[in-house]
Amino acid sequence: MTTATLDSVRQKLAAVGQEHLLTFCDRLGPDEVGVLVEQINAIDLDALPGLIERYVLSDQQFEIPDDLEPAPYYPRDPASPVRPWDRDAAAELGEKLIADGKVGCFTVAGGQGSRLGYDGPKGCYPAGVISGKPLFQIFAEGILAASRAHARPIPWYIMTSPLNHDATVAFFMEHNFFGLCADDVMFFPQGTMPSFDKATGKILLADRHTIATNPDGHGGALKAMVASGATADMQKRGIEHVSYFQVDNPHVRVLDPVFIGLHAGADDSSGEMSSKMLPKADAKEKVGVFCRSCGRTMVVEYSDLPDALACQTNPDGSLRFNAGSPAIHMLGVGFVEKLARDPEFALPYHRAVKKVPHVDLETGKRVEPIEPNAVKLERFVFDAIPLAESSIVLETDRVEEFAPVKNKDGVDSIVTSKRLQTERAARWLEAAGVKVPRKPDGSPDCVIEIGPLTATCAEELVAKRESLPPEIERGASVVL
Ligand code: UTP
């Protein structure tokens, strides 16, 4: 690195108030300077002042559109007078699309999982109730089951981040891809953003020669899918739609024929981006809410929805804005390509205030903050929904499809997830005629785990009723 090159970098940084990034430069080896300058060059410096002003130094409130109303959705019960629909036709189309090799799976696994506090990629977290199966294995088995049922490989795309990519790939290799063919599992890292000091807007240094960065949010998936060649691979394989799910929900149906069929075939779906919704647990539940404005479906984050709207009720007392998002979508591959190849395309940033370890510029020592000190900027995938011509929403059931592992304890933790996993297993067994002991409060008086290779939904378990025990013993631990 020549002095002239370094001077030019210094000038560019000074122009945007970030020259402190070179504070330790004269104490670094040439390789370290090279790494730092490479990182600096990857930042869009021209855009920085605007971003910092808008998102770091101020907390711009989302403006609620005047015409905001709840988004319509397909009710779980297809015979509901609210909106009758043909579930069998949707299921048939979905099955055909899977059988014809037009559907793949896509997991966003690039998050940092800071709330869970697990040392490793979140997908490696042991989530199986009894088996302790990692989240990745639960999804892999769901895909394997669908692949066997349709006698064809189903490709799985996994978005990592530069911070957990190698560990994720190594985990799959160590576990022999959980029975899937390695050629059908593709990993690609998402982009990153620098992390900013909350008070000053200055980019933080993780150490003397490395900028502190964070993954750019699950919304970074859209550009990363195209930039990495994932969508090109999908097109080569004839994949037209992907089933999108997060890494922390062991209850997700990795491929749901009904949802796939509705997304691809419903009259009011453009087949670009569709979503599942679940009725909110209560008015203040921390989930985004499906709304509609200017004829477009959108998700409003819980933090942006004013209490007056969050708590608003219908004449029958039910919540008006009731459609919570469990972050389960179908994405059209053509839609992702169209968006990401448009030079004007950019999803908005969302601001998250977090604790980010960094180097003190005066002492050169590492600081482990006790209080949130930094702003991370992230893009959210649901902000692409209004960009679809016509986006549909399908109601689902909380126990059936949502048992997230987000927090170390309390709500949405492994304890609540395992409870939900047992409850769902109990329901499936009861549907198959098995007697499940329940406590006076109605919860199962046993612990049950049903692996995806046994059944991925109640109907599949019912079909196996002959091989099931007639009843489960009180207090038993049962793995099926
Ligand atoms: P969360 O919003 O729960 O974030 O991600 P997180 O990073 O996993 O966890 P916290 O907030 O630090 O505790 C929801 C899903 O989106 C993915 C996550 O891996 C998870 O599947 N995600 C999130 C990404 O793939 N990239 C990101 O930049 C952020």
Topology given in CATH for the domain delimited by 69-412: Spore Coat Polysaccharide Biosynthesis Protein SpsA; Chain A (3.90.550)
Per-residue pLDDT at 3: 80
Q: For residues 404 and 408, what is the distance between their CA atoms, to the nearest angstrom?
A: 11
Query: Residue 105: pLDDT above 90?
Result: yes
Please give the pLDDT value at position 4: 80
Cβ partners under 8 Å of residue 42, min gap 6: none
Distance 254 CA to ligand 1 centre (A): 18
Asked if residues 392 and 263 have their Cβ atoms less than 8 Å apart, the reply is yes
Provide CATH 3.90.550.10 ranges for the chain: 69-412
Taking the CA of residue 354 as reference, the ligand 1 atom at the shortest distance is 12
**Measured in angstroms, how far is the CA atom of residue 111 from the centroid of ligand 1?**
3
- Of ligand 1's atoms, which has the minimum distance to the CA of residue 108? 25
pLDDT computed for residue 423 by the predictor: 98
d(CA 475, CA 264): 44
- Confidence (pLDDT) at 2: 79
71 Cβ below 6 A of ligand 1: no
The backbone torsions φ and ψ at residue 145, rounded to the nearest 5 degrees and listed phi first, read -60, -45
- pLDDT at residue 395 in the model: 98
Q: How far is CA 251 from CA 142, 404, 418, 437, in A?
A: 10, 8, 10, 22
Is the beta carbon of 271 within 6 A of some atom in ligand 1?
A: no
Closest to 302 measured CA to CA, from 313, 311, 314, 315:
311
Mean pLDDT of 140-167: 97
CB count within 10 Å of CB 325 equals: 22
Minimum-distance ligand 1 atom for the alpha carbon of 113? 9
Instruction: Give me the pLDDT at residue 227, please.
Output: 96
Ligand 1 pocket, 450 CB below 6 A? no
Stretch (H or E) spanning 419 = helix 414-431
For the Cβ of 288 lying below 6 angstroms from any atom of ligand 1, the answer is: no
Residue 60 has pLDDT above 80, yes or no: no
**Is the pLDDT assigned to residue 1 strictly greater than 80?**
no
Nearest to 256 by CA among 447, 478, 125, 74: 74
H/E stretch holding 448: strand 447-449
Determine phi and psi for 242, rounding to 5 degrees.
-125, 145
CB 22 within 8 A of CB 13: yes
Local confidence band at 329 (pLDDT 50, 70, 90 cut-offs): very high
Mean pLDDT of all residues in 32-51: 94
Mention every residue, 6+ apart, whose C-beta is less than 8 A from residue 88. none
Ramachandran area for residue 298 (φ above 0: left; ψ -120 to 50: alpha; else beta): beta
Task: Report CA(389)–ligand 1 centroid distance (Å).
Answer: 27
- For a pocket test of ligand 1, which of 195, 248, 325, 355 has the largest count of ligand atoms closer than 8 A to its C-beta? 248
| Residue 223 beta carbon below 6 angstroms from any ligand 1 atom | no
Tell me: pLDDT of 16 over 90. yes
Q: Residue 302's closest CA among 281, 324, 277?
A: 324
Phi-psi sector, 156: left (phi>0), alpha (psi -120 to 50), beta? beta
Among residues of the chain, what percentage have pLDDT more than 90?
97
| Top mutation candidate among 246, 252, 380, 414 for ligand 1, by most atoms within 8 Å of CB | 246
Two structure tokens written together for 288:
């985004």
Contact 391, 382 (CB under 8 A): no
406, two tokens: 């987000």
